[in-house]
């Protein structure tokens, strides 16, 4: 039986679902009202966190920047509880874009609320179309889980990625390490070494489902969920 992978709900589910399926998992699209976090963790072998709206800065004790307008309090509450339950159970987790930010906030970290005003605009972090357009390279940390999974694709320690975000990790939560950075220093990936599998990336690997470029990230989640 393929491992059941719970997928946090978002507006654009098909690429996430298909990526899990192609990697050998059984995708389970969650519903906030019907799938309580504790019950989800007991009923699956892995968790995929998806992209979407900004995390409310109140979650990490900051006033809201004027650019933070699209927040979903119910989703924040649900996903933070889901992350905490999953990590407590050592459930394998792959977190994408907003998902990476949720993982960091759930563990006590904070976010850069607006990259252009806080970091600058020398590196394009918002290239919406086409969805798999390469925006910039990221530098992959040697010895990281991502480096091991991506292998020759990350030759030379660099990996070209797409990008659709204006927020990013700022204060890194305790127990997490940086696995990739953009040329401007923006954190592009985190890993939690103490977990069986906990990897978060700021880009959108699911959008490369047709080419399979980032299928190894999903395969890593499935492999950990199968053990």
- Cβ(146)–Cβ(87) under 8 Å? no
Nearest to 204 by CA among 100, 111, 121, 82: 100
Q: Is 79 among the catalytic positions? A: no
DSSP state of 205: G
Query: Which residue among 10, 44, 97, 198 is the active-site one?
Result: 97
Nearest to 220 by CA among 203, 202, 204, 200: 200
Q: Is 206 among the catalytic positions? A: yes
Q: Is 38 among the catalytic positions? A: no
Query: Which residue among 45, 79, 191, 206 is the active-site one?
Result: 206
What whole-number distance in Å separates Cα of residue 179 and Cα of residue 68?
26
Lookup result for tokens 């992978």: 5
Secondary structure (H, E, C), 161-177: ECCECCCEECCCCCCCE
Q: Which residues contact 84 (CB under 8 A, 6 or more apart)?
A: 37, 106
Q: Please give the positions annotated as active site.
A: 97, 204, 206
């Amino acid at each position: 039986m393929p491992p059941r992978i719970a997928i946090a709900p978002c507006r654009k589910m098909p690429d996430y679902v298909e990526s899990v399926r192609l990697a050998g998992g059984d995708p389970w699209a969650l519903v906030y009202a019907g799938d309580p976090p504790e019950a989800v963790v007991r009923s699956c072998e892995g968790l995929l966190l998806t992209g979407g709206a900004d995390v409310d800065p109140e979650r990490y004790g900051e006033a809201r920047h004027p650019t933070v307008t699209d927040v979903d309090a119910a989703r924040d509450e649900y996903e933070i509880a889901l992350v905490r339950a999953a990590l407590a159970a050592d459930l394998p987790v792959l977190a994408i874009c907003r998902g990476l930010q949720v993982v960091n906030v759930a563990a006590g970290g904070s976010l850069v609320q607006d990259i252009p005003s806080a970091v600058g605009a020398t590196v394009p972090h918002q290239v919406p179309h086409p969805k798999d357009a390469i925006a910039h390279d990221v530098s992959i940390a040697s010895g990281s889980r991502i480096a091991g999974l991506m292998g020759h694709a990350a030759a030379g320690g660099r990996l070209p990625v797409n990008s659709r975000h204006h927020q990013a990790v700022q204060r890194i939560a305790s127990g997490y390490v940086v696995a990739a950075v953009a040329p401007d220093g923006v954190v592009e990936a985190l890993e939690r070494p103490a977990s069986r599998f906990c990897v978060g990336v700021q880009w959108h690997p699911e959008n490369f489902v047709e080419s399979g470029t980032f299928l190894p990230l999903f395969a890593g989640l499935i492999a950990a969920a199968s053990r």
